[in-house]
Structure 1
Amino acid sequence: MTGQNPPDARLQDSFVEVMGGVCTPVAVVTTLNGGRPHGTTVSAFSSLSRRPPMIIVALDETSELLRIVRDTGILGVNVLTDRQSGLATRFAGKGADKFDGIDWDECDRLPRLAAASGWLACEATDLVPGGDHTIVLGRVLSADGGPGNPLVYHRRTFGTHQPLRL
């Protein structure tokens, strides 16, 4: 079978293609370490439970943010609006300067980005291995919602939700 991907590589490629067709919310997960803010963009984020209020978020196993969440036990989730794709791109990259020139405040002992459409301060109750990521189960300690259309990720591009006209 020369010239073909091994079955595992084909499965991975097909999986990425299928999942690219699924719209996902875009959020920036944040935490503080020694007074310094840290954050990363995620699209693997969802509600888990209403009673008690809980969320799940997947963080790359090698990320600095995950290491800090393991140490501190807390994380913030900034749900982005369709006007914040630049923030999503910025926080998806590497580097210590992600917060330079960014409008944020400390809220619930965590970095909260200005103008995000939603805010969740969470206690990390469980960390579950999941392949090359760790799934963080977060018990919501505080929540605040606001206006704005959601930023979503679909087919490797940012967009937003539009209601159907029936």
Structure 2
Amino acid sequence: MAAEGVDPQEFRSVMGHFCSGITVVTAFGPDGPVGFTCQSFSSLSLRPPRVLLCPSRSSTTWPVISAAGRFCVNVLAAGQEGLSNGFARSGGDKFADVEWDLSPDGMPLLSGVAAWVDCELQAEYDGGDHLVVTADVHGLGVGGAAGPLLYYRGKYARITPPLPV
């Protein structure tokens, strides 16, 4: 049971002390490529290879990706703040002026990412104001040598110098 009286702003502030990476989840919808920025992402299982992500219930993009059943998690690299911001906004063509190709599984793969993971939706669970999504991994790879784009205490951060791959 959740603690009574936990202030949402204090919760956000305290949880902001946990550094996380930034991803953009992409897929193809009926009208072309779609995607959204997702901070809540992690590995879940080695056998079978499975990941976990938590899209907001208010996301208008997640239902399109969920219906497609397959997607690519693009782990953003240092310097890709613009991609993070662009895919975090609602509406419009998020792929306008964005360089991308196809992953081996045929999903939108953003250029210059630190890593990527091709996934197939496995399950969705209630997570309060977010969904908890598990997905089976069908393919994955590492991008360039750039370090990851990080998020810490409400701001983008970088590892300096980038760790060797």
TM > 0.5 fold call: yes
RMSD: 1.5
CA distance in 2, matches of 1:156, 1:103: 27
**27, 46, 51: which one aligns with 1:50:** 46
Report the counterpart of residue 151 of structure 2 in structure 1.
153
Letter of the structure 2 residue corresponding to residue 154 of structure 1: Y
For each residue in 1:16-44, what CA deviation from the matched residue of structure 2 results, as whole angstroms up to 9, or x when unmatched? 11111110110101111125111111110
Report the counterpart of residue 15 of structure 1 in structure 2.
11
The total of aligned residue pairs comes to 156
Runs of 4 or more, structure 1, over 3 Å off, are none
CA distance in 2, matches of 1:139, 1:27: 17
**2:132 aligned with 1:135, yes or no?**
yes
CA distance in 1, matches of 2:51, 2:92: 26
Computing the radius of gyration over CA atoms, which structure comes out larger, 1 or 2? 1
Are 2:34 and 2:65, in contact at CA under 8 Å, matched by a contact in 1? no
Percent identity reads 35
Which is richer in helix? Answer: 1
CA distance in 1, matches of 2:96, 2:128: 32
The TM-score with structure 2 as length reference comes to 0.88
Q: Secondary structure at the match of 1:31?
A: strand
Extract unaligned runs of 5+ from structure 2. none
Letter of the structure 2 residue corresponding to residue 106 of structure 1: L
Extract unaligned runs of 5+ from structure 1. 1-6
CA distance in 2, matches of 1:36, 1:69: 11
Report the counterpart of residue 3 of structure 1 in structure 2.
none
**123, 129, 148: which one aligns with 1:126:** 123
- Give, in angstroms, the shift of residue 162 of structure 1: 4.2
The TM-score with structure 1 as length reference comes to 0.88
For each residue in 1:84-128, what CA deviation from the matched residue of structure 2 results, as whole angstroms up to 9, or x when unmatched? 111111111112211001001122131110110101110010101
